[in-house]
Amino acid sequence: MEISSAALHRIITTAHADRAREVCGLLFGDDAWIERAEPCANVAADPKRTFEIDPAAHFAALRAERAGGAKLIGYWHSHPSGDVRPSATDAAMAAADGKVWLIVAGSEIGVWRADGADTHCRFTAVPYRIVTLP
């Protein structure tokens, strides 16, 4: 997986702006490329421990994709705890839909694919490379 350095910069900058809470957003690109990252409001009841992407932003991205816009390939969020591995909470809320999950903790990132059988989700680590475009 290749990640645009601009998208990664936006994720890390947004995460560092609020280190006490999980911040989150959407990833756009294709199966091999994270081109863009958009921050979204975290509407979780306890944003210090979990995240929930604002459903209005999520549905707007899906509508835009169906109308020919950018493809929604996954989600990103921060872990103030400092661990880039998906948590048990992440696994419980994830769908086994093949979407990419990028987790940032401090200056480290982890990239994962949510897969599995039926509703049982597991995360598979995805090797990545950061690409700076001219």
Q: What is the pLDDT of residues 27-40, one digit of tens each?
A: 999 989 999 999 99
Residues 106, 125, 57, 21, CA torsion sign: negative
Catalytic residue among 2, 22, 38, 108: 22
Model confidence at 117: pLDDT above 70: no
Residue 126 has what pLDDT? Answer: 96
What pLDDT digit, counting tens, does each position of 62-101 carry? 999 999 999 999 999 999 988 999 988 888 888 878 899 9
Higher pLDDT, 29 or 114: 29
Q: For the chain, what percent of residues have pLDDT higher than 90?
A: 78
Taking the whole predicted model, whether its pTM rises above 0.85 is answered as: yes
The number of domains in the chain is 1
Residue 120 has what pLDDT? Answer: 63
Q: 38 - beta bridge partners?
A: 26
Residue 83 has what pLDDT? Answer: 92
**Euclidean distance between CA atoms 105 and 24, whole angstroms:** 12
HSE on the CB side for 1, CA within 13 Å? Answer: 25
CATH number where 57 lies: 3.40.140.10
Domain that holds residue 87: 2-131
The label of the residue with tokens 């700076």 reads 132
- Element of type H or E holding 6: helix 5-17
Q: What is the mean pLDDT of the chain?
A: 92
The verdict on whether 38 is a catalytic residue reads no
Q: 37 - beta bridge partners?
A: 27
